[in-house]
Amino acid sequence: MNESAPVSTLERRVQQRIDNKTKPLGALGHLEALATQIALIQQTEIPVLTNPHLVVFAGDHGLTAEGVSAYPAAVTYSMVNNFISGGAAINIFCKQNGLQLLVCDVGVAGTFSTNTDSFVKYKIRAGTRNMRHEPAMTSDECEAALDAGKTLVNGVKYRDCNVVGFGEMGIGNTSSAALLMHRLTGLPLVECVGRGTGLDDAGLARKLDLLQEITDRYSHLTDPLDVLAAMGGLELAAIAGGMLQAADNGMIILVDGFIATAALLVAHALNPAVLTHCIFCHLSDERGHQQMLAFLQVKPLLQLDLRLGEGTGCALAYPLVQAAVAMLNDMATMDSLQISIAH
């Protein structure tokens, strides 16, 4: 939260409740700030977490034809099948920590026969275009992807969900994320481009040169939606739309790593108020994520050197969200134990 913002009456009351818990002042560190943030999102001293969801959007990228990833584009399709069959890391972590997983195909270059409560198809097109030669999406396609995210978030809210995390799957999407980061933060491109799925030094140098060519090609674009359409991805646009809708719905937003934070940069450029709803779950090992978080002036909950995506950081951090709420609601107070401490 912005430390310079005026302190509300609710925030004072929540802080007083936390300070009266059976502990030294500030002894629970970041967990105390997290509890306060959740209370302010829900506008109550007694917040409740209901039916948390993790929504994973999947889409392919035409730019993979230029060799920006250590993995072939076909891996996107294979990994979505892995999500459907329950074998991916995000399946395991969601099951372990009590989150409902919903996977959405917004742009995978492949056909899926299944359509269930945990997998939905909202395909805009079979992958973005190669942005080296033409914009990744048309304006209409970009808007459709944003709408897909909004629709899915409204759908999970209908399931009585008030906590939603966002994950992604899309080979090549670290390139889109780096380009969006560069354009929306103003940071030098070299500070935004990382190894993604594991490029070697030569591959990283080629990736940087290619992305510099692309950002030069679209340097005339200034509107965030135009930048997103030209250099983004269908799954990133869907995440941005979903985050905007979640904020409008008064929901808690769990933000994953580098890719999800890049989508948040778009959402933030369109509506800065979305930031107050966001819990940043971890610091990614992908180069650039730390600078993204610094730009937004936020702190992550975890630092585990993760760079998998899928929303895995959200699922792993969720128990801390639960702990913050449990502390605020259930921990005994000095008053209840008739303890008097001079602060």
Q: Answer yes or no: are the C-beta atoms of 324 and 42 closer than 8 Å.
A: no
* DSSP codes joined into one string, 60-98: --GGGGG--SSS-THHHHHHHHHHHHT-SHHHHHHHHHT
Going by the DSSP 8-state scheme, the letter that residue 311 receives in this structure is T
Task: Give the closest residue to 61 by CA, choosing from 1, 25, 107, 95.
Answer: 107
Task: Provide the token pair at 273.
Answer: 């108020």
Residue pair 55/62 in contact (Cβ under 8 Å)? The answer is no
Task: For residue 141, indicate whether it is catalytic.
Answer: no
Rg of the chain over all Cα atoms, to the nearest angstrom: 20
DSSP string, 239-281: HHHHHHHHHHTT-EEEE-SHHHHHHHHHHHHH-GGGGGGEEE-
Q: How far apart are CA 252 and CA 254, in angstroms?
A: 7
CA angle 312, 40, 301 (to 5 degrees): 30
Question: Can you name the residues that pair with 167 across neighbouring β-strands?
Answer: 56
Confirm if 188 and 211 have CB atoms less than 8 A apart. Answer: no
The answer to whether 140 and 148 have CB atoms below 8 angstroms apart is: no
Out of 32, 235, 286, 310, the active site residue is 310
Catalogue the E-assigned strands of 153-306. Answer: 163-169, 252-255, 278-280
Q: Tokens for 120?
A: 């939905």
Q: Which of 154, 148, 144, 224 is nearest to 183 (CA)?
A: 224
Q: Considering Cα of 253, then 255, then 256, then 259, what sign does the dihedral take? A: positive
Which residues belong to the active site?
A: 310
